[in-house]
Amino acid sequence: MGLVALAVTDGMMPFELSVAYEVFGSAPPSVPGPWYDLAVCGSGAVRVGRFALEPDAGLDRIRRADTVIVPAWADVDVPPPADLIGAVRAAHEAGARVASLCTGAFVLAAAGLLDHKRATTHWAHTEVLADRYPEVEVDADVLYVDNGSVLTSAGKAAALDLCLHLVRLDHGSSTANAVARRLVVPPHRDGGQAQFVAAPVPAQDDHPLAALFTWAIERLDQPLTVEDLAREARMSSRHLARHFRAATGTTPLQWLLTQRIHRAQELLERTGDSVDAVAEATGMGTATTLRRHFNRTVGVPPDTYRRTFRARSDHDRSA
């Protein structure tokens, strides 16, 4: 399947680097035929977190790779090294498929590979990426984005999703499933699934809608309408819509739905309430309505979401 080059430099994060190394470094015993030729490429010894790493080859090897993986960049306020940017750009120009994991997207953006393309990164850094590189169409609500020769992933677990996606493209679903079984992870999460992230509201106390946000969040169990919000804010519906768009980037109804989903996530994580009870508490009315909106927004049904987060909490308590 050709050469996979992990592009490393000081300041990379160890988790994403380890994920890529584990996926592409060795084939599962059940997989016949050739696997990837993996090379860790960098300009001399590098520091990855608290570890010292000796690359297999220099950055020039990246230019001959079939696939280049750029792990997460630890400090997005520090510009990536020029030699790394140049090597990644040259590899892409030579025909390589280039993928970033988490904040590795900042390296791809600096190389110009994301201009006029949809891309993602860890949800905590999507606004920074969008502000710094306005030519990039940043999508904060997905696990990964596949543009063919350029791919980007969100944070941590989504990096593994993207690596498995690449294996699936190269070797097929059965092989990707075999890799997932070896790693004891779900075999497939579609890139369009939402990142598990709470939708924030503007934090400024003096914002024109600050009191309205609080008022509405305290009444999510009620069937609020745009007219209700406008009346509470003492604005016309049209004026309210303009303020909402400026403050949140969305409409009042979409904002309300997002807050209801957020509340449902909290209840599913922290209580044993039935889906019907959660639907009532979040103003969704029925379990059917909650399931439809929750699945479309989060990417998984409420019951699956609850099992995922309960399992994680149980693991954290036992660790």
- Number of separate domains in the chain: 2
Q: What angle do CA 170, 175, 178 make, to 5 degrees?
A: 145
Residue type at 156 in one-letter notation: K
**Host domain of residue 280:** 210-318
Single residue among 135, 164, 183 that ends a domain in this structure: 183
| CA distance linking residue 94 with residue 96, whole number of Å | 6
234 shares its domain with 179: no
Same domain, 125 and 255: no
| Below-50 pLDDT ranges, the chain | 315-317, 319
Segment holding 152, helix H or strand E: strand 150-153
Among 183, 201, 234, where does a domain finish?
183
CB 180, CB 40: distance < 8 Å: no
Amino acid in the structure at residue 94: A
Question: Residue 14: which CATH number?
Answer: 3.40.50.880
Predicted confidence at residue 200, as pLDDT, reads: 52
Residues 42, 141 within the same domain:
yes
- Please report the pLDDT score of residue 85 as a whole number: 96
By C-alpha distance, which of 171, 144, 169 is closest to 157? Answer: 144
Q: Are the CB atoms for 16 and 157 separated by under 8 Å? A: no
CB-count burial class (<10 Å; 0-12, 13-18, 19+) for 141: middle
Sign of CA dihedral 48, 50, 54, 56: negative
Identify whether 197 is part of a domain: no
Q: Are residues 167 and 272 in the same domain?
A: no
Residues 101 and 7 both lie in one domain: yes
